[in-house]
Amino acid sequence: MLYIAEEKKKLGNDQYKAQNYQNALKLYSDAISLCPNSAAYYGNRAACYMMLLNYNSALTDARHAIRLDPNFEKAYVRVAKCCLALGDIIGTEQAVKTVVELEPQSTALSGEQQAVQKLRQLESTIQSNYDTQAYRNVVFYLDSALKLAPACLRYRLLKAECLAYLGRCDEALDIAVGVMKLDSTSADAIYVRGLCLYYTDNLEKGILHFERALQLDPDHQKSKRMRSKCKQLKDMKENGNILFKSGRYREAHVVYTDALKIDEHNKDINSKILYNRALVNTRIGALREAVLDCNRVLELNAQYLKALLLRARCHNDLEKFEEAVADYETALQLEKTPEIKRLLRDAKFALKKSKRKDYYKILGVARNATEDEIKKAYRKKALVHHPDRHSGSSAEERKDEELKFKEIGEAYAILSDARKKNRYDSGHDIEEQEQADFDPNQMFRSFFQFSGGRNASFNFEY
């Protein structure tokens, strides 16, 4: 049996040298079956497992070889290398210490000694950055740690957790799934999957994953905290929506505001809650606050079309037409629909109208004012601002009153003419030539002569 086992080992060595590690693994396993008490065979298979990046199996074989031969130096070397790859700092240091005791002049693990010191420094830096929620830094330093310990599942899952906090849930999920293929009972991996679901607004499934992690590890503190936070956020979000739909807007506003305090890192859910609160603000007439909420939504997610359209509508209602046009133009880039094209066209038209003089405002009448109301308004304001009434004022004051008098005359000239009024109400520009030739004094005289009142010479009541 020993002879056959040795032949198997030799054939395994040949395959190992040829880098046919799977074939070598089978031959070493055959040798171990024939001679299970040979430390060398376990040592060889450990080396083969290492080449296949199966560090857990390699570590098991190397430790078994040591039990068979406590002075097997190569086995300790392999233990150190495997522990380092797996991120086991203490295990690496112990193996290095034993090798030095067995062979004080050995340099076989000089690289591992330097690497494990570097790993200790990295772990300290990683922890301090994690504690201050500097997750980008944590990911950066974990990448350095994983170069030294590529098979460390703890590092991988911590990186995945931080990626989830940073909103990079697809990357985080890939890591968690990869770990679960190696260990389906990993509470940390299931926790990370739950975290990804939580940060993509799948709260119910997130809760199920946190509960599954707690079944596997009842003391998993992160899962406890996240399950509680997830349930709280789900309940508050649903309660706010119910209040909103039932028209209890101010109560909904309070609930949404409280919900936003639960987790500042959950950009997906927070953007939706902020949008809902913006809608509430439009219902209670707080348009400026609605705009601020939409601003925050778009800071979190620049592609949030509904928030962009709502902000545009608020800008339009606040008569900030340039901002409304800019928002609709951005929205049209995101989604080219007939409705957005119409809204943009209307906003541009409103902007154009806003740049004209508001003749209704100048006369102080409503847009649906009757012809008689327009006449009365002109009579009153023309008498107040006529230059003769301000002949004793300063030059600056006279100039200001003359300008107002002219604008009042322009307003009446447009609004008292059915054709011009119709064009003005429709948003069309009045011909510049007509406005250039306008004489407010002539308008004033004509008005009072036509209306049968006093002529242009009269005494004002001060």
- State residue 386's pLDDT score: 84
425 and 366 in contact (C-beta within 8 Å)?
A: no
Q: pTM for the full model?
A: 0.72
In this prediction, residue 451 has a pLDDT band, given cuts at 50, 70 and 90, of: low
Choice between 359 and 151, residue whose per-residue pLDDT is larger: 151
Cα separations (Å) of 191 from 69, 164, 238, 240, 355?
41, 11, 24, 27, 58
285-299 mean pLDDT = 97
Name the residue with tokens 């899952």.
157
46 and 58 in contact (C-beta within 8 Å)?
A: yes
Choice between 353 and 85, residue whose per-residue pLDDT is larger: 85
CA–CA separation, 329 and 359 (whole Å): 29
- State residue 430's pLDDT score: 58
Q: What is the total residue count of the chain?
A: 462
- Give yes or no for residue 20 having a pLDDT over 70: yes
Alpha helices in 260-390 (DSSP H): 267-283, 287-300, 305-317, 321-334, 338-354, 359-363, 371-385
CA–CA separation, 12 and 16 (whole Å): 6
Choice between 380 and 444, residue whose per-residue pLDDT is larger: 380
- State residue 429's pLDDT score: 65
Q: What is the dihedral of CA 274, 277, 279, 280, to 10 degrees?
A: 180
* 141 φ/ψ angles, rounded to the nearest 5 degrees: -75, -30
- State residue 435's pLDDT score: 54
- Give yes or no for residue 458 having a pLDDT over 60: no
Question: DSSP for 130-177?
Answer: HHTT-HHHHHHHHHHHHHH-TT-HHHHHHHHHHHHHTT-HHHHHHHHH
> Cα 280–285–287 angle (5° rounding)?
80
- State residue 378's pLDDT score: 83
CATH number of the structural domain 1-118: 1.25.40.10
- State residue 313's pLDDT score: 97
- Give yes or no for residue 357 having a pLDDT over 90: no
- Superfamily (CATH) of domain 252-355: Tetratricopeptide repeat domain (1.25.40.10)
Residue 292, class by beta-carbon neighbours within 10 Å (0-12 exposed, 13-18 middle, 19+ buried)? middle
Q: How many beta carbons lie within 10 A of that of residue 6, not counting itself?
A: 16
For the segment 104-143, what is each residue's pLDDT rounded down to a tens digit? 888 878 888 899 999 999 999 999 999 999 999 999 999 9
- State residue 400's pLDDT score: 86
Identify the weakest region by mean pLDDT among 194-203, 417-426, 430-439. 430-439
Q: HSE (CB half, 13 Å, CA atoms) of 245?
A: 6
> Cα 122–123–129 angle (5° rounding)?
90
- Give yes or no for residue 448 having a pLDDT over 80: no
How many helices and strands in the chain, by DSSP H and E? Answer: 25, 0
278 and 264 in contact (C-beta within 8 Å)?
A: no
Domains 1-118 and 252-355 share a fold: yes
- State residue 462's pLDDT score: 32
- Give yes or no for residue 398 having a pLDDT over 90: no
- Give yes or no for residue 343 having a pLDDT over 60: yes
Name the residue with tokens 């980008």.
136
CA–CA separation, 133 and 141 (whole Å): 14
Distance of CA 229 to the CA centre of its chain: 19
Q: Name the average pLDDT for the chain.
A: 90
In this prediction, residue 389 has a pLDDT band, given cuts at 50, 70 and 90, of: confident
- Give yes or no for residue 457 having a pLDDT over 50: no
Please determine, looking at this structure, whether the domain spanning 359-429+439-447 carries the CATH number 1.10.287.110.
yes
Q: What percent of the chain has pLDDT over 90?
A: 69
Q: CB under 8 Å to 64, separation ≥6 — which residues?
A: 42
In this prediction, residue 407 has a pLDDT band, given cuts at 50, 70 and 90, of: confident
Identify the weakest region by mean pLDDT among 145-154, 307-316, 339-348, 453-462. 453-462
Alpha helices in 35-102 (DSSP H): 39-51, 55-68, 73-85, 89-102
Choice between 98 and 425, residue whose per-residue pLDDT is larger: 98
Domain locations in the chain as residue ranges: 1-118, 252-355, 359-429+439-447
CA–CA separation, 454 and 44 (whole Å): 121
For the segment 418-428, what is each residue's pLDDT rounded down to a tens digit? 888 888 877 77
